[in-house]
Structure 1
Amino acid sequence: MSSLDATFHTADLDESLSASFAAQGLRVARVGDEDTAGSYAWTDAVARGFLDGERNDVQRRTAFELNGYRRKIGVYDDAGVDAAVPVATFASWGAELAVPGGTVPACAVSSVTVAPTHRRRGILSRVMASELLTAAGAGYPVAMLTVTESGIYGRFGFAPAAQAAHWKIDVRRARWSGPDAPGRIDFISREEGRRVAPALHDRVRVTTPGEIDMPGGHWDRAFGTRADAEKAEARRVVQYRSPGGEVEGLAIYTVTENHDDYAASTVTIVQLIAATDAAYAALWKFFLSMDLIGTISASELSVDEPLWWMISDQRAATITVRDHQYVRVLDVPAALRARSYDVDDTIALEVTDPLGIADGVFVVTAGEQAEVEPVDSAPVGVPLVRLGVPELSALLLGGVSAATLARAGRLETGDPARIARVFASTTTPRLSFWY
């Protein structure tokens, strides 16, 4: 844990937040890292909030052991029947977000729930605003989250910055037309896959805007190597090695048999990591060439997958695109300096922020090493963009064109195409998992 992450992890709750809840007969507290009982109750509340069943002791203990890196917040109703279980939960931690040409420290947010018994009391709004201010004060340039309800977070300054595609492929129609890779595919154990995956993922994520370092416990969840894993034995792992013997790709998958037609079974790809073009081609050809498989299902893919150009019949793929990785700029200069730009230009941004965190006017001198300076007003002759922090956050990863946002009425500028060229990225942003 970096010094920034450690500082944020143990930061005190804002006194005004505590006072506002006390006025409603509620109590807000950070769940201590060594508080086993408190963590178990917090985990129970999270499961309830996401409509899961009751947690058992193995699940509670595993969550406690693997989630110590999280800053866990609970809101409690001491007048309730089971006052130890929070009526609202919130988790966050320090992570690293890839942006075009670099990475930036980020505050990741997860496990946001409010019990149905305590809705419409402003609980989420107060906790989110307070924790975003704490994250900004600690020094994080951005915050980020993946969402189950997409309509909630825009009012806090978040915007979808990386979309995710779900593919359903009719294998019999698709027919592989991509290249043949020179290496080899081998089956490996789930434990071996768990061992090699982190380094492989780190090679890929830093060059893919939108990706983050894998949170604690997620690898074991993906490979079914954690104590509370269910049906772990259903998961199989293959890896791709180059002719030189280097592991360059890996995939986790499951098979669902079709008992009416065994030759029409379904492969679900849990995770596919490819550090080279050869690994990407080899892994996808492997799945499209499997016997007895009629359908391939894969989620959290890029909206610009090369696979689209590696199958003979593109209509064999049904693709659904949804919002996925949400980003929220907290420090405009630091966030924009973290990325590179493919054009040299100077523009001015007038940013409005509903929480007052990132308000201001900023001059951006774009290039491989950008300069971003706060100013009192936009200089004469420099094109000005008026936009909210959600729109700036959407632009950060290069996943949406400023010209598109201008046509949608989401920003104002006299030359949308010029602004679009500044923020454009040659790599489509994506995030390959949920957190």
Structure 2
Amino acid sequence: MSSPHQTRPIDPESARRLAARGLRMDLVDTSDAEAFARWHVVDARGFHESRPRPESIAALVEGVAYRRTTGVWDDTAVDAASPVSTVSSWPVQLTVPGERSVTAWAISSVSVAPTHRRRGIARAMIEAELRTAHAEGVPVAALTATEATIYARFGFAPSAMAATWKIDTRRASWVGPEASGRLHFIDAAALQQIAPTLMERVRLQFAGEIEHWDHLLDRMLGIGIDDQERARALRIVRYDDASGEAQGFALYTIAVSPTDFSSNTLTVEYLVAANDDAYAGLWRFMFEIDLVGQVNAPLRSIDEPFSWQVSDTRAITKTAEGDHLWTRILDVPAALSARTYSAPGRFTFTVTDELGYADGTFSLDVDASGLGVVRQVDADSGEVDAAAPDQLRARVSLSVNDLSALYLGGVSAVTLARAGRIVEHVAGSVAAIDASFRSPVAPWLGIWF
């Protein structure tokens, strides 16, 4: 049975714009295996991946059929049955500060065929997604971007960063806590029994993580993908606490050096730890595997505790630090009231949004428990001042991009103000926003979508 987000009619504004250019925008019926398979082939081509084998397409079709799947067709093309552009979207739970969740519109698989560049297709597709999300009442849109220059024009901004860590294990002896539990090698079937529950527990610990879908774990394990060599090379280790309850797991591979067998490279493909004990047990295991000279850990948090759990901090380097999760606020009151805050305060934000969704002036009043009440107000009516006559109200102006960057608490308001992106109208406002919006744990998303 289709979900409402799958069957909502295609956005008429974008459809009209593309039709004027001789292009047809439409939904893909995900129950039509042949049409959905064609869409997946074009999606893979758009990201320079090999053409999927039929069995891989079958797994994809089954795994993501719940998503709203859109394409653009050129009926004059030689292969008129295949789209020239793709996008996929679905509502998902996004973790926000306070171990709470907000519904986000996840946007994925954005591609345009190189034969159809500069025809306004990408803009039409993204704007259609935002209008659809807004019509569905979803307060935030989110995506992971392969290119950093595309999405700011639509109001998105980086809000959770990621980094690759490299550890020289010949220098980095473990000095962190002694884990209380034990580790076990397990197979994919055993992991599938425990992973969904563990992944959801950990999701709530990090602002920026999203609710995982069933096909994601299969993809991590190499089930139904073309790279069978990688799937066979994957190792899975589970961490159980002292009582025998699973508290974490890790997937890793080892690249064997052709010249020095004692200096192989281990790559941590994915690691989940539900508590600090499991974190120490799993990372110590990675650092101390024999015949490994370097551990690489891509797509990790920019603030990993293990960098403080080794004897030589210079044995660890952080590289490729940069944007990963991009968010875009569509409904300011719903988005800001969904999270908690680190300090009380009274704030007024005047937000500019070229697309109109978040445009306006909003008051945010945060109480001592960290909960916020948000209202849209008339900036010229004096209503804001009347709401807080006895207390200074912080006042700033900023774009929806910058409010979206601040949203998860990983980007500094002070930094944005120094960059000229936030205008402070009352002295001390930016510092007050920083204190309230910051997240005690760096926002992080450990996957691509």
Aligned pairs for 1:19-418 (under 5 A) are 19-101=16-98, 102-226=100-224, 228=226, 230-231=228-229, 232-320=231-319, 321-367=321-367, 368-377=370-379, 379-380=384-385, 382-413=393-424, 414=426, 415=428, 416-418=430-432
SS of residue matched to 1:61: helix
> Structure 1, residues 102-148: CA drift from partner, whole Å, max 9, x if none?
11011101000001111111111111112101101101110100010
Q: What is the aligned partner in structure 1 of residue 388 from structure 2?
A: none
Q: What is the aligned partner in structure 2 of residue 432 from structure 1?
A: 446
What is the identity, as a one-letter code, of the residue corresponding to 2:358? A
Whole-Å Cα distance in 2 between the matches of residues 84 and 191 of structure 1? Answer: 38
Which structure 2 segments of 5+ residues have no match?
A: 386-391
Q: CA deviation at 1:383?
A: 2.2
Whole-Å Cα distance in 2 between the matches of residues 88 and 234 of structure 1? Answer: 34
Q: CA deviation at 1:37?
A: 1.4
Whole-Å Cα distance in 2 between the matches of residues 315 and 171 of structure 1? Answer: 11
Whole-Å Cα distance in 2 between the matches of residues 196 and 254 of structure 1? Answer: 21
Q: CA deviation at 1:275?
A: 0.3
Contact 1:351 1:361 in 2 (8 A): yes
Q: CA deviation at 1:389?
A: 0.6
Q: CA deviation at 1:341?
A: 0.9
> Structure 1, residues 396-419: CA drift from partner, whole Å, max 9, x if none?
100011111000111111322112
SS of residue matched to 1:172: coil
| Matched residue count | 432
SS of residue matched to 2:228: coil
Whole-Å Cα distance in 2 between the matches of residues 354 and 45 of structure 1? Answer: 31
Q: CA deviation at 1:282?
A: 0.5
Query: TM-score if structure 2 supplies the norm length?
Result: 0.94
Whole-Å Cα distance in 1 between the matches of residues 246 and 223 of structure 2? Answer: 20
Moved more, 229-238 or 162-171: 229-238
Whole-Å Cα distance in 2 between the matches of residues 53 and 224 of structure 1? Answer: 15
Whole-Å Cα distance in 2 between the matches of residues 152 and 249 of structure 1? Answer: 36
What is the identity, as a one-letter code, of the residue corresponding to 1:372? V
Whole-Å Cα distance in 2 between the matches of residues 424 and 16 of structure 1? Answer: 38
Whole-Å Cα distance in 1 between the matches of residues 139 and 214 of structure 2? Answer: 22
Moved more, 209-218 or 238-247: 209-218
What is the identity, as a one-letter code, of the residue corresponding to 1:153? Y
What is the identity, as a one-letter code, of the residue corresponding to 1:314? T
Q: CA deviation at 1:229?
A: 5.2
RMSD of aligned Cα (Å): 1.4
Contact 2:26 2:72 in 1 (8 A): yes
Moved more, 375-384 or 404-413: 375-384
Whole-Å Cα distance in 2 between the matches of residues 216 and 45 of structure 1? Answer: 23
Contact 1:341 1:422 in 2 (8 A): yes
Whole-Å Cα distance in 1 between the matches of residues 200 and 227 of structure 2? Answer: 24
Whole-Å Cα distance in 1 between the matches of residues 73 and 34 of structure 2? Answer: 14
SS of residue matched to 2:170: helix
What is the identity, as a one-letter code, of the residue corresponding to 2:46? G
Whole-Å Cα distance in 1 between the matches of residues 311 and 214 of structure 2? Answer: 40
What is the identity, as a one-letter code, of the residue corresponding to 2:271? L
Q: CA deviation at 1:355?
A: 1.0
What is the identity, as a one-letter code, of the residue corresponding to 2:239? Y
Asked if 1:16 corresponds to 2:13, the answer is: yes
> Structure 1, residues 80-121: CA drift from partner, whole Å, max 9, x if none?
010111111111011000000111011101000001111111
> Structure 1, residues 357-407: CA drift from partner, whole Å, max 9, x if none?
111110000132210000011623522110111100111100011111000
Contact 2:208 2:325 in 1 (8 A): yes
> Structure 1, residues 295-338: CA drift from partner, whole Å, max 9, x if none?
10111111111001001111111211121011110100000000
Q: CA deviation at 1:196?
A: 1.0
Contact 1:191 1:225 in 2 (8 A): no
> Structure 1, residues 270-304: CA drift from partner, whole Å, max 9, x if none?
11000011100001111111100001011111111
Q: CA deviation at 1:194?
A: 2.3
Q: CA deviation at 1:227?
A: 5.8
Moved more, 213-222 or 346-355: 213-222
Q: Percent identity?
A: 45
Query: TM-score if structure 1 supplies the norm length?
Result: 0.97
> Structure 1, residues 35-54: CA drift from partner, whole Å, max 9, x if none?
11111111111111101122
Whole-Å Cα distance in 2 between the matches of residues 419 and 16 of structure 1? Answer: 37
SS of residue matched to 2:126: helix
SS of residue matched to 1:217: helix
